Structure 1
Amino acid sequence: DFTRPRTMKSVVSLPLVVGILALAAVTGSPGDHQLALPLVEIHASTPREFGRRMGAAAKTLIARRFAQCEELHDLLRAVHTSAEGKAVYGAFFRNASAAFPQYMEEIRGIAEGAGRTVEEIFVMNMREELGYFVPLGAHSSGAPPPPGDDWEQCSDYMIKDASYAAGMHNEDSGVEDLNTTFFLHAHLSYSAPDFPEEHFAPSRPGSAPRSPRATLRGAPWTGPPREFFAYVYSGDLPSGAFGWTPSSGLAFSLNYVRPSEGVLGGYGRGFLSRGLLDARDLDEAMDLITSWGQAGGHNYQLFDYVQRRGLNVEAAN
């Protein structure tokens, strides 16, 4: 059980022109520290298989990311050696397993494919949320930056006039993520988890406790594979950056938001953004990302190319 936070929304609606999501991989000189962005295409019939294929395809990149990130090593050490670290890890793991069982299967698959432990991959996906409660000093993403420190993160612009609208995203991250990302095209022949209104309906402090669980949509999958595109940080669930689902016409990008305090055991940002790739429409996406029970917060740009709408949504505990 965990305290359910207040969720705040800042929403702007505007018509959108139908657009095409394009990504060009550019190979730079060695001095530019650039690599051609790998394109990974995956076909899978179960969440575990999907994760396993992702982990295998990105095995080298995941190992490089672990090697480059001191914070991940600090978190794992704390989880292994301290009672506090073990308790914090357990709270997040239990609630993620209850609310997002299908995505936890993807995490188990990533671990298998990459030759890592489930603990390592879960910590990688929850490092900021864990960092609120496991003190790590200078390596912690949960710690605020020193006064005057230049703490750069992503940025987005949404502009429109009477005849045209556009959304633009700049992806920023830490040095540990340099050349460890890939572009994913997923073809999934299994049902997506359902996010009905009652699953993520607001539950204010003092209301009856509940542990929401995702339920599968309908019978075993019989139609053509559902697909999505996403920019992926190796080892993470897709996507902590941006993605697009052709069948629903939905796309999104993400911006960093860090509330001053976290909610122990709350939903991780990566699980919510993974859910956006399975959302059937803009309303379902909104219900998901503004749900009560989030560990921290995030800023979302949602684009609906069917209804020609765009939303800027900021959610914080």
Structure 2
Amino acid sequence: MGSCSVDRERLEMFEVGPCKDAYEMGLLIGQRFSKLIRSRVAKDLILQNHLRPFALGHTPHSESLLKALFHANKTKFPTYWDELLGTAAGSGVPLLDILLINFRKEILAFIPKEGAKGPTVDTSDDCSDVVVVGESMAIVAHNEDANVALVGHTYLIKGILPDGLFFVGYTYAGELPSCAFGFNSHGLAFTLNSVPPAEDEIVAGGIGRNFISRDLLEAASMDDALSRIQGSEVSVGHSYNLIETKTRRIFNVETASRNRISIYEVHDENSMSRQKRASVLTKKSKGDFLSLLGDIDDKNYPIYMTGPLLHTLCTALIDLDEQTLSIIEGNPKKGAVSYVFSIAPQKSP
């Protein structure tokens, strides 16, 4: 079995629920992955060198920002907030650290770069996607790229809801499912990409992207997913590839602060990250696209990343015709598939 790095074990999946409430779901996740969450927090230099000092500095700037950010998200998404409270309690990690890693991109944008200790690079240019919709093929292939602190600190959550429906989310240790990719039993799936904001476009106290993507895991349809994205005023932007298996449709949605949003339906072979390199590679089959996402020939901006700061954690391949989501650990050129999920819509129990 392939792996994302030589020192990590196979990705673990935890099935949780139905639970009496969101706090219990978070509590059980925190307990199950306590060791992994503690390890992630201990190795996360972004948290240690930037987020935590900013929060504990107790300056008027930091206090007002965090108060507004926490209040807005707790008010709009109280159940997901309770999920984080449970995760903190279950893992034994201080709640502040859990909140900071979940809001890292919303907070980092406000931390002065001058005089900062340690590397300030977060995953601003993370993730590559290939999106193809044609007569012969409809796929999304996604490299999940992240800071080195996340290597070996991810897991899969299968959350079973009170009505018996479920979601599966690739999850960073200590964070809400999922800031990466996931799907649910309605046949709706998504992958996520970063949209680095200009400094003058950042809005303090907006809705965090982790909360929006957690909400997407419970969307019943493409229209419902679009409504959930549009209904949240974000602090910094994000890019969503929304996939609906029953209609064989893929939408790319890009958001920005002040309720700006762009929606594009993918109709043909396009939408390729790092297009310069991609344009010279053969692209005729799923294998070709996986080889593209495994390409390392551009030494400065490889598509498949192996450090020193950014690493490709895994690759997700969503096939709308086969109605499957496959997770590949290690370079996707080698095709070491660790999980294959059916993403066909399922009826309520």
TM-score, normalised on structure 2?
0.67
User: Which one is further off, 115-124 or 287-296?
Assistant: 287-296
1:241 aligns with 2:180: yes
Query: Secondary structure of 2:29's partner?
Result: helix
What is the identity, as a one-letter code, of the residue corresponding to 2:51?
A: L
Other-structure match for 1:35: 9
Once the two structures are superposed, the pairs formed by residues 134-283 of structure 1 within 5 Å of their partners are 134-135=111-112, 137=116, 139-140=119-120, 152-189=125-162, 223=163, 225-246=164-185, 248-261=186-199, 262-283=202-223
Q: How many Å apart are 1:68 and its aligned residue?
A: 1.1
Instruction: Check conservation: 1:232, 1:240, Cα contact below 8 A.
Output: yes
1:86 equivalenced with 2:92 (yes/no): no
Q: Within 1, Cα distance between the matches of 2:32 and 2:24? A: 12
| Aligned equivalents of 1:64, 1:275: Cα separation in 2 | 27
Residue in 1 that maps onto 2:30: 55
CA gap of 1:274–1:289, structure 2 versus 1, over 3 A, is same
Give, in angstroms, the shift of residue 134 of structure 1: 2.7
Alpha carbons of structure 1 residues 280 and 173: separation in structure 2 relative to 1, 3 Å: same
SS in 2 for 1:243: strand
Shift of residue 87 of structure 1? 1.9
Where structure 2 has 5 or more consecutive residues not aligned to the other structure, the ranges are 258-349
Residue in 2 that maps onto 1:219? none
On the 8 A contact 1:59/1:114 being kept in 2, the answer is yes
Give the superposition deviation at 1:91. 1.0
**What is the CA distance between 1:152 and its match in structure 2?**
4.7
Give, as a single letter, the amino acid of the residue that structure 2 aligns with 1:243: G
Matched residue, 1:108: 85
Runs of 4+ in 1 over 6 A off after TM superposition: none
Q: What's the counterpart of residue 64 of structure 1?
A: 39
| Structure 1 gap ranges (5+) | 1-25, 146-150, 190-222
Greater percentage in strand = 2
C-alpha distance in structure 2 between counterparts of 1:258 and 1:290, whole Å: 19
Distance 1:309 1:182 in 2: 28
2:125 and 2:194 in contact (8 A); partners too: no
**Counterparts of 2:36 and 2:104 in 1: how far apart (Å)?**
18
The answer on whether the counterparts of 1:185 and 1:229 sit within 8 Å (CA) in structure 2 is yes
| Distance (Å, rounded) in 1 between the aligned partners of 2:232 and 2:190 | 20
- Rounded to whole Å, the distance in 2 between the matches of 1:281 and 1:28 is 33
Number of residue pairs matched by the alignment: 249
State the distance in 2 between where 1:64 and 1:271 align: 23
Rate the CA distance shift 1:125–1:141 in 2: closer, same or farther, 3 A. Answer: farther
Q: Check whether the contact 1:46–1:188 (CA below 8 A) recurs between aligned residues.
A: no
Match of 1:77 among 46, 53, 56: 53
- SS of 1:173's equivalent in the other structure is strand
Q: Secondary structure at the match of 1:36?
A: coil
Shift in Å, 1:130 = 0.8
Distance 2:120 2:236 in 1: 15
User: Counterpart amino acid of 1:115?
Assistant: G
